[in-house]
Amino acid sequence: MKPLAAALFILAAAVAVTAGSRLAHNDAINTVDKSAVLMGTFVNIKVPVTDGLSRADAAAAIDKAMDEIRRVERLFSVYMDDSEISRLNRAKKGEAVKIEEEAFSLIERSADFSLATDGAFDITVKPLVDLWSEARRSGKVPSDEEVRSARSRVGFRDLILDRGERTVAFGKDAMALDMGAVAKGYAADMAARTLAENGVRNAIVGCGGDMRCLGVRSPGKGWKVGIRHPRDKGRTFMDIVLSDAAVDTSGDYEKFFIAGGRRFSHIIDPRTGYPAEGAVSATVVSDDSVTSDAFATALCVLGSEGLRRLADTGPGGAIIISYKNGGLSIDTTKGFKERYHAIKTADIR
């Protein structure tokens, strides 16, 4: 293997085992299967070759879906200076920036998720994400004053959206957006749409922990997805079975750091400015990956309390792992196990 290919392979393997939801062992099926490292994560698309779809057509459709993910990345990446989001993030307070319809729509949906989660989900969290990312690099926990200062630049209520003009403006100084909690979900949805537009009826798209299923893996059999054990990356604790649905898992085991015996998650509670402590991990099943992605992040902030509150109005189903009485404990929305044919694969404690 060439050095670059070898490096990519190692990165892909490392990312694959850390992803929160992943394809479980499914019976041997004849599939076209392709992987790539995109959006800083491991992307995998599998298409079963059944009823008339040739391997060449399946492969061509997957290539188009991968291109679609690259296109989404160019819209939302904060690591690319010319993305729509980076362009917006350079705006001064009060400056209305016209942006592409697609980016506007995802920002609009994100604002709705903020309302639905009482601000636990908030794409204006970037100043705090930057502060805590720096802390992860330096190993030094920021002072309360530094947290307060970054926190004062955060708040979805100060994001001014004008649907008619398709503009976004910041109501406070030095605000900025981070779409990291929904962009991979959006990419998975768009990849699934591209596959469908190219004649694919059954597929599974994995974009990091976001899994989006189209149809079934074989007639009468849904896609089996494993949910990662949050303290043992090599194991799953539950398999669920899905068709035409999306599942995503967020957890405190990604990009975390430990200082003074405390674990600091990469998910921030925008209301306090400190890393979320609501849950160890949260898994959400819904009809689309954007919804699963947003609520999985939000539930890491809200914890089991959020599960109860969102059960009626939120997505299809959710699982929360949190510490109770000194051990890990599982909480699910009512009827979750029956609805998704959940099979326990390991003990959680």
Give me the residues that bind Mg ion (CB under 5 A), please: 181, 293, 296-297
Burial 150-167 (b: 16+ CB within 10 A, else e): bbebbbbeebeeeeeebb
Region of 96-104, 139-147, 266-274, 303-311 interacting with ligand AMP (CB under 6 A) = 266-274
According to the binding rule CB under 6 A, does residue 280 interact with ligand AMP? no
* Best CA proximity match to 270, nearest among 161, 178, 173: 178
- φ, ψ of residue 22 in degrees (nearest 5): -150, 160
131 DSSP 8-state letter: H
What six digits make up the tokens of 175? 């605000």
Per CB under 6 A, the list member of 127, 180, 215, 230 interacting with ligand AMP is 180
Query: Which lies closer to ligand AMP via its Cβ, residue 58 or residue 147?
Result: 147
Q: To the nearest whole angstrom, how small is the minimum distance from the Cβ of residue 266 to ligand AMP? A: 4
The residue count for binding ligand AMP (CB under 6 A) is 17
Output 178 or 239, the one with its CB closest to Mg ion: 178
301's enclosing H/E stretch is helix 289-313
Residue with tokens 């792992």: 321
> Which of ligand AMP, Mg ion, none lies near 123, with the C-beta cut-off 5 to 8 A by kind?
ligand AMP
Half-sphere exposure of 194 (CA within 13 A, CB side): 24
Give the amino acid at 176: A
Residue closest to Mg ion (Cβ): 297
- Paired sense of beta strands 281-286 and 317-324, if any: antiparallel
Q: How far is the CB of 325 from ligand AMP (least distance, A)?
A: 26
Residues 291-320 as x/- pattern, contact with ligand AMP by CB under 6 A: --x--xx---x-------------------
Binder of residue 310, out of Mg ion, ligand AMP, none (CB less than 5 to 8 A by kind): none
Distance CA 250, CA 300 (A): 7
317 binds, options Mg ion, ligand AMP, none, Cβ within 5 to 8 A by partner type: none
* Backbone torsions φ then ψ of 141, nearest 5 degrees: -70, 130
Question: Which residue, 180 or 215, is less far from ligand AMP as judged by CB?
Answer: 180
Residues within window 215-234 making contact with ligand AMP, judged by CB under 6 A:
none
| Rounded Cα distance, 302 and 312, in Å | 15
State the binding partner of 266 from Mg ion, ligand AMP, none, CB within 5 to 8 A by kind: ligand AMP
Minimum distance from residue 168 beta carbon to ligand AMP (Å)? 16
245, 287 contact by CB (below 8 A): yes
Contact (CB, 8 A) for 166 and 104: yes
When binding is defined by CB under 6 A, the residue of 26, 194, 202, 250 that contacts ligand AMP is 250
Binding residues for ligand AMP, per CB under 6 A? 121-123, 125, 129, 178, 180-181, 250, 266-268, 270, 293, 296-297, 301
